[in-house]
Structures are given as structure tokens and as C-alpha cells.
Amino acid sequence: MSKILFVYPNKEGYPIIPLGISILSGILKHHGHRVDLFDVTFIMTERYDHKAREKTGVVKKVDIEQYWGTGDKLDIDEEFRKKINIFQPDLIAFTVVENNYFMAKRLLQIAKETSSALTITGGLFPTIMPDLFINCSDVDLVCIGEGEYAMIELAAKLDLGEEISDIYNLVVKHNGNIIYNKLYSYYNWEPLVFQDWEIFDERHLLKPFMGKMHRTGFFELSRGCPYKCAYCTNRLCQEIFKGLGRYNREKPIEYAIKEMEYLKRKYNLDLIFFNDENFLTMKNDRLADFCENFRHRVSLPFFIMTRADSLIDEKKIRMLKEAGCVTIGIGVESGNEDIRRKLLNKNITNDVYEKAFANCHKYNIRTTANIMIGFPFETEKNIVESANFCRKLQAKSLSLAIFAPYHGTVLRDTCIEEGFIENKISEDIAIINRSILTMPQLSKEKIEELYLRFNSLVYD
């Protein structure tokens, strides 16, 4: 039996159970290992992401302190040392995205100062930047891509004291060298193992939605978006995993339903969110299978995200409505067709968006228009154009963000080439209401002003 301590350096303080950790914890426990978690979420005294959204008016205000608290006001570093000393892990596993990189880096240093346990980093940022992590003196291993098979093998070999330098998907420091191992084929969800939420504070389940708190579960029916939008890392991920099979793959419907049935009962859920980046990439027969089983066996309201061009077939929308879909988040990004096509590599016309939103409204499904502002070369006029387009679409709600040039995206390269950003990791990229681009045609201050005004431009 190995002892694995997961670290969730959630510096934004927004409660949500990350699928990666919950799935890996469930699998490791299934194989007989001990798992614990160090989670900074409820130690953080600010909920930066949620507070920014409330300030814009795009979400209804909820007394979140009543449910989430105001932060435990503890010393994060000292609490982490205590957790390590009490649990005495064999492996300390960090899930890292670019937003939480600096906190993860600090905690990695503490882990090495406090324990002889191996450290491993996984998640999106290490996957696209493995050299950055493996060349850090506080990191022993990097997991590239999905971690299910790699973590099963790693935990077993640590338990038996066997050599770990040849485990697929891992980049390993070994005898002064760095070994880049081959990649496993994609995880196939066999055998069926449920997410493990026991290691998390149950406050993570409480999500504000339409002005009320709901006990919310996050689930997946698929992994891997097949598109190559310029602001997203999926293009690079498709290249990294080329040759492993179909990048967009689907979880068996029966497995997904059984997991939701179990966790609904255990945690008294009343809302479901699907993490799938494009829920409706599935074919109609699979959608029909899902909707039929979900309606009769789970029977909860649910929220999905999908592309506008997947919402033209009214039959799909009718099935979703009958199954209990209450909101569909649709990636609009910009109201300017040329910006979407030429800059964002998202070739969906305004007519398609208008049809998609109209179809959803016809079946009384609430729509959320996902919008970004502050793109490279964007002007104030373009941002107002986006607001006017949302008004025309009659979007029932907005999800608004200031563009962030993440590593691994085409637009980050564009920003560097144009001198809009420096080629370095920016701690400010995690701040939802702040731009890190310096552009001649549109100042940071103006972007932030328009961010705060955008909701009123649409609805007032």
C-alpha cells in the first residue's frame, strides 16, 4: 500500500471539485492505496473569481460567506507542513494549471523541505510544459496527459520498491538523467470506478446558480475537444497525443449514469454540471441513450456547454429539454465574425449563432453566452459589437472573461510576436478581471472598464 497526498493549490478560492483529483483518488483507493488531500480553497480569504463576476452583474448575488465561509485565516505553508508530517506520504501529487502555478511552485519547495517523498506534477500546464517542471529542483516526476494508468503503476511500484523510471506518460529524473517515456493509450474507464469526493470539504458541492445555492456534482461524458480554436490549448494537445487514437473519446453512458446515481444519493445532489467542452459532439443515438437513462434514473436539472453549430438540429434540443437540461453555455467569444474566423479560428457565422440561440429559447432552455474581451488587436468598438450581438441573440445570461494568453495557444505566440506580452509566466494571468496585454489601440484600463460595463451594455 502506497500513501499519496494530492495537493490542490486553488488560489482563486472558488470551490469546485476537480475531476482529475477525484477520479485519480477513486482509482488509487480501488487499488488499495491510501489517499489524502491538501486543499487551499477554504484557507483562502478571498473568492477572487466569484467576486469579480458579481461585480460585473453577470451572476446574481448570493451570500456566499454563509455557505463557503470567509477563509480559515490559517498559514497555508504551515498547514501544508503539518499535513505532510501527519500523513507521511510516499508521493506528493500536484495538479497544476497556469493560474495556480506560483502557489504550486511554493508548495513544491515546502514539500521537498519537509519530506523525502517523491513529488509529481500533473494537469494541463505540466502536460504542455514538461521541461519547465522537470527542470525544477523540487519536482521528481511529471505526468503528461491522463494520469490514471501511470498513477496506478507508480503507486504499485512504490509499494513494492520497484524501479519507476520506465512508466509510460511519466517524465522521470533518474541517475542524473531525465527520461521521457512513451505515452499510454487513452484511459477507457475500465473498470468502473466512481469519483472520490470523500477527501474534499463538502462545501465544494455548494454552487451558486441563478441566485441560489445548489448541491452540485460535476461529471464527464467525454474527453478531448476536436476543434483548434486559437485561444485554447486543444490544438497543442492534439499534436502531443497524435497516434494514440481518437482525441475526442466517450465514456460509456451506462458507466456515467451509474456514477451519477451513486453520487446523487450519497451527497443529496440537486444539480448536475457536465465538464465536456463540447457536449453535443456525440451522435444522436448516443444522445438519445443518455437522455432516456438520465431522465429516468438521475432526474436532476443539468447544465451543458457546447458549440453553436451543434444546436441547429432541433431534435437534439428537444431531447435535452425532456431530459432536464436547464442551461446551455455557448461559446460566442466575440460578436465580430471576422475576429472569430481570422483571429480565433472559430468559423461559425452570426446566422448560425442566431439560429442556435433561437432554438434553445424555443424549448425554454436558458442560454449563457460565453464572451471574452481584450483579444489582441481588438478595439473598443469590437467589444461594444460583442455586447450588441449578445443583445441580438437575447442571451439569457453571460459568462464574461478578459482574454488570457495561456501557454500552448496560438494567440499567446501572436501576443509575444506583437510585443503585447513578455515571454514569461505571469502571476496576473489568474486574475479574471485584469488584462496582461499592453496594446496601442486598447489600454488595460479601458479593457477593465468595459469588463465592468459589459453586462449593462447588453441588458440596460
Is residue 70 predicted with pLDDT exceeding 80?
no
The C-alpha atoms of residue 127 and residue 121 are separated, in whole angstroms, by: 9
- The residue with greater pLDDT, 427 or 415, is 415
Percent of the chain exceeding pLDDT 70 equals: 98
**What is the model's pLDDT at position 66?**
75
Give the DSSP H or E segment for 197.
Answer: none
Q: Residues 390-407: what's their mean pLDDT? A: 97
- Give per-residue pLDDT as tens, 220-253: 999 999 999 999 999 999 999 999 999 999 999 9
The C-alpha atoms of residue 252 and residue 72 are separated, in whole angstroms, by: 40
Give the DSSP H or E segment for 406.
Answer: none
- Give per-residue pLDDT as tens, 279-302: 999 999 999 999 999 999 999 999
Place of cell 469590437: 382
- Give per-residue pLDDT as tens, 187-221: 999 999 999 999 999 999 999 988 889 999 999 99
Is residue 47 predicted with pLDDT exceeding 70?
no
- Please say whether the dihedral angle defined by the alpha carbons of residues 450, 452, 455 and 460, taken in this order, is positive or negative: negative
**What is the model's pLDDT at position 118?**
98
Strands (E), 210-310: 212-219, 222-223, 249-250, 271-274, 302-306
**What is the model's pLDDT at position 458?**
97
Q: Residues 132-148: what's their mean pLDDT? A: 98
**What is the model's pLDDT at position 358?**
98
pLDDT band at 430 (very low <50, low <70, confident <90, very high): confident
pLDDT band at 56 (very low <50, low <70, confident <90, very high): confident
Cβ-count burial 232-246 (b if 16+ within 10 Å, e if not): bbbbbbbebbeeeee
For residue 232, the one-letter residue type is C
DSSP calls for 319-363: HHHHHTEEEEEEEEE-S-HHIIIIIS-----HHHHHHHHHHHHHT
- Give per-residue pLDDT as tens, 306-351: 999 999 999 999 999 999 999 999 999 999 999 999 999 999 999 9
The C-alpha atoms of residue 84 and residue 108 are separated, in whole angstroms, by: 12
- Give per-residue pLDDT as tens, 447-459: 999 999 999 999 9
The C-alpha atoms of residue 405 and residue 231 are separated, in whole angstroms, by: 7
